[in-house]
Amino acid sequence: MQKDTVVILDFGSQYNQLIARRVRECRVYSVLMPYNIPIEKIKSYNPKAIILTGGPASVMKKGSPKADPRIFKLGVPILGICYGMQFTAYALGGKVGKSKKREYGYTELVLNKREKFFTGFQKKEKVWMSHGDKVQEKPKGFIVLAHTKNSHIASMADPIRKIYGVQFHPEVIHTPKGMQVFKNFLYDIAGLKPTWTMSSFIKNSIEEIKQKVGNERVILGLSGGVDSSVAAILLHKAIGSKLHCIFVDNGLLRKYEREYVENTFKKHFHVNLHVAKSEKRFLKKLKGVIDPERKRKIIGNEFIRVFEEESKKLSDVKFLGQGTLYPDVIESVSAKGGPSSTIKTHHNVGGLPEKMNLKLIEPLRDLFKDEVRLLGKELKLPDHMVYRQPFPGPGLAVRIIGDITKERLEILRNADLIVQEEMEKYVEYKNIWQSFAVLLPVKSVGVMGDERTYENVAALRIVTSQDAMTADWAKVPYDILGRISNRIINEVKGVNRVTYDISSKPPATIEWE
């Protein structure tokens, strides 16, 4: 079934993925593409609407990003945001120039006309601006819909051709009625219906997976994290016993992690699960390694070797499943020289496709993280798995500063379990990005039962974040911090002091290594 699609052309906006997510939140499917994508490629999506993002460039400068102007002749509704509106004006014969005063932050938008594009808006509304240029003269056929103190054309439209523009950013939370702009454009102007739901996604995905896989077998590296878990259940729903999941127990996992994964996937969902118990070989490779980058490389390389060994036990496998998400796809396929150039390639199973000569199958490649969680709920995955916090690929190895030994891993595992147990009782737990313990390479003097102790120090790291790019330390109530500290010191043999990390990112990182 062909889904209605909105094509979003990216001119380099820092909010490009946010625009795509806002459209998805309106239950309309969207794809994000570089601004210079060939028009034939745009046509191949049979778009029902096009959105032009903002960007840092000046449209008047030579070499600034410019889309193929033929998009305005495709006969589909178009919405230009910030730079996108300026490009619209420039391409259609209007005039763009430098503003005498730049507009950054909150601005009062004043409506000139009552038009359905601004349904639900008062005469004056707060919006968020971020621009130095502005549209000075509207193109022929356009009307001015709204203005601000510094921009006499803050929104414009050609209602006949259904081409609209806004100078402000409706995608950010700082524009209170921003979502209303998207709803008005998508529903009232473009005539789209809110049919992009997780139930429809499951139905369509199952059909596509069955068609692609046929009678072949698929292997998938299952980590127990949200992405690989949801991908596994979706694939299992489509192809059943033809899916084989490989779980590598490297000895660097949280307490009871292997047992939890086995119980969830093997016993509850009846998935073919192959567990590689590899603790000894990983710890042998990591013995004496202090440098965090060396730790990561050793763990990544060893994972690939173990995965390959386990895969060879399964004959005639043709597909490798991965939990690749849409942000990974965006970063990987950005056009060369585009505003969002390639940052990384798929990283879910570190280079396995090239080494193993398998065809990739990525059932989540159209989804953002929040959509994956919604999908997990729809697939009846337990909340503990759907809403679990991110866990680093190298596991506890990057939360033990210094040498990694079985003894130090056990100390950290026990401390980490207490952090998780107590934080899950916290009413704001779902607003916490990550909460964990770190084992430091120092010892301190303490007193237990009138006796002097000289034992390890554990640090608590609890942060809030939207995307892990920036993070702030969480202002967790003292009684919760006190309870965690008290339990760790009393219950974890080998720890006699607990500290709380109050560093933000930047300058610190979320993980310690």
Catalytic residue flag (residue 171):
yes
Sign of the Cα pseudo-torsion (474, 331, 15, 98, in order): positive
Which tokens is 234 given? 């979706």
Any idea which residue has 């209007």 for tokens? 94
For residue 9, what are the β-bridge partners? 33, 52
Which tokens is 256 given? 């009871």
Q: Is 285 helix (H, G, I), strand (E, B) or coil?
A: helix
| 331-337-341 Cα angle (round to 5) | 20
Q: Which of 115, 59, 63 shows the shortest CA–CA distance to 87?
A: 59
Q: Is 133 helix (H, G, I), strand (E, B) or coil?
A: strand
- Using CB atoms within 10 Å of the CB of residue 250, give its burial: 0 to 12 exposed, 13 to 18 middle, 19+ buried: buried
- Using CB atoms within 10 Å of the CB of residue 435, give its burial: 0 to 12 exposed, 13 to 18 middle, 19+ buried: buried
Distance separating alpha carbons of residues 348 and 370, to the nearest angstrom: 18
Q: Is 207 helix (H, G, I), strand (E, B) or coil?
A: helix
Catalytic-labelled residue, pool 103, 115, 125, 171: 171
**Half-sphere exposure of residue 230, counting CA atoms within 13 Å on the CB side?**
33
Any idea which residue has 């046929």 for tokens? 214
Q: Which of 492, 61, 445 shows the shortest CA–CA distance to 460?
A: 492
- Using CB atoms within 10 Å of the CB of residue 249, give its burial: 0 to 12 exposed, 13 to 18 middle, 19+ buried: middle
Distance separating alpha carbons of residues 488 and 472, to the nearest angstrom: 24
- When computed from its CA atoms, the radius of gyration of the chain, rounded to whole angstroms, is 26
Q: Which of 423, 426, 407 shows the shortest CA–CA distance to 460?
A: 423
What letter would DSSP give residue 2?
P
Distance separating alpha carbons of residues 126 and 131, to the nearest angstrom: 16
Catalytic residue flag (residue 245):
no
Catalytic residue flag (residue 152):
no
Any idea which residue has 């996992």 for tokens? 253
Peptide bond into 507 cis (omega under 30): yes
Distance separating alpha carbons of residues 473 and 508, to the nearest angstrom: 10
Q: Which of 209, 221, 219, 212 shows the shortest CA–CA distance to 316?
A: 219
Peptide bond into 506 cis (omega under 30): yes
Catalytic-labelled residue, pool 169, 236, 244, 346: 169
Which tokens is 242 given? 């033809």
Catalytic-labelled residue, pool 82, 244, 346, 513: 82
- Using CB atoms within 10 Å of the CB of residue 19, give its burial: 0 to 12 exposed, 13 to 18 middle, 19+ buried: buried
Amino acid at 272: N
Distance separating alpha carbons of residues 403 and 466, to the nearest angstrom: 32
Report the catalytic residues.
82, 169, 171
